[in-house]
Amino acid sequence: MTTEPTARPRLEPLELALPPVDHRPTVPAGFAAGSTIAGIKASGRPDLVIIATTGGPAAAAAVFTANAFAAAPVRLSQQHLAATEPSGKGRFGWADAVISTSGCANAATGAAGAADQAEVAAALAAALGSRPDRILTLSTGLIGTRLPVGKVTAGISALIGLGLGAEPASLEAAAIEAVARDLARQQAADGEGASTLLTCQVSGALDDADARAVARAVVSSSLFKAAVHGRDPNWGRIAGAAGNARLAESPILEAAGLPAHEARARGGTPATIDPDRVQIAIAGTLVFDGPNGGPQPFDKAALRALMEAPETIVRIDLGLGTGTGEAFGCDLTEEYVIENSEYST
């Protein structure tokens, strides 16, 4: 005897219990921030920012790249966190300030690059009356070039002389998450050559770690990113990416809240997916329904029109549990290829 599969509701965007984000140049109470043009970038655009505490060191945590060519600022920040909180093993500790530069990644620059980064941290510590190991450093830009330390230290002096120009504001445990999410969306939408923000929301996973793995796999798929750019509702590329999803490495899982032993056991393992339970929707249109025969009929022209919006939302329900997660990315455009083929990044 066979039974008819039970239809599930349409996949609507996940409800997020987060306050709205007000886009104003303010920072939380207890911190000060400022940016300037230090002259690192040939374009003359702003390239130096400092965020500092105003009442002593703050707790700090970070997730770092595992790349063997990790840049000098990455290695130095790990060392400083480990020095201020040895039990954190370079993942968390204490800091008085973060300094970020753009235009020069200070990566693959050897001992000289490490010395440059240490000099920057020491200069900021001296300006703030802090210690070098309470300074965290970030850099982005061209790989294989030395950081112009003189320009950076001059920029530090200019910002400290101006009091960093920050106006403190209170920030609420949910507001922090809302701001972090908003910044992540802005970063994805502002990708090189991007024309469409790509959001993947996953529900029904065994747990949040599985849901996040599937969401990241979809927004990272070059095939689907290209399809989004072409306004092609090719749900097969979503299914293919989801089926290949693997959990993040153990340090990231642990930083996200999994116990250390579980993070080590699950790091890099495949996410749990049963195709017969999966539902997929693009821009609110159900295109695949595993419990009800799989592929669903839809108006391709109408869905292509919906994908012309500045944001395309992909909703996936795995039908296995209560885990949820989301990830952000952007489409893969001709402009991206052109931009990254015509100059060094």
d(CA 166, CA 160): 11
Task: Say whether pLDDT at 220 is over 70.
Answer: yes
Q: Which two tokens stand for residue 173?
A: 């445990």
Task: Say whether pLDDT at 132 is over 60.
Answer: yes
What confidence tier does 127 reach under pLDDT thresholds 50, 70, 90? very high
Q: Which two tokens stand for residue 142?
A: 């061209």
Task: Say whether pLDDT at 9 is over 60.
Answer: no
Beta bridge partners of 33: 51
What confidence tier does 172 reach under pLDDT thresholds 50, 70, 90? low
- Amino acid type, 53: T
Task: Say whether pLDDT at 170 is over 50.
Answer: no
pLDDT in tens, 281-314: 999 999 999 999 999 999 999 999 999 999 999 9
Stretch among 25-34, 158-167, 335-344 having the lowest mean pLDDT? 158-167
pLDDT of residue 168: 44
pLDDT of residue 130: 94
What confidence tier does 163 reach under pLDDT thresholds 50, 70, 90? low
- pLDDT cut 90: percent of the chain above it: 73
Tell me if 125 sits within 8 A of 131, measured CB to CB. yes
pTM of this prediction exceeds 0.85: no
pLDDT (mean) for 106-122: 96
pLDDT of residue 164: 61
pLDDT of residue 273: 96
pLDDT in tens, 195-218: 999 999 999 999 999 999 999 999
pLDDT of residue 162: 59
pLDDT of residue 167: 45
pLDDT in tens, 56-105: 899 999 989 889 999 999 999 999 999 999 999 999 999 999 999 999 99
Task: Say whether pLDDT at 251 is over 60.
Answer: yes
Tell me if 334 sits within 8 A of 230, measured CB to CB. no
pLDDT of residue 171: 47
Which domains does the chain possess? 27-169 (3.60.70.12), 186-342 (3.10.20.340)
d(CA 33, CA 162): 10
d(CA 176, CA 193): 29
d(CA 62, CA 198): 25
- Residue 270 is classified by DSSP as B
Tell me if 253 sits within 8 A of 208, measured CB to CB. no
d(CA 148, CA 205): 48
Task: Say whether pLDDT at 245 is over 50.
Answer: yes
20 compared with 138, residue with greater pLDDT: 138
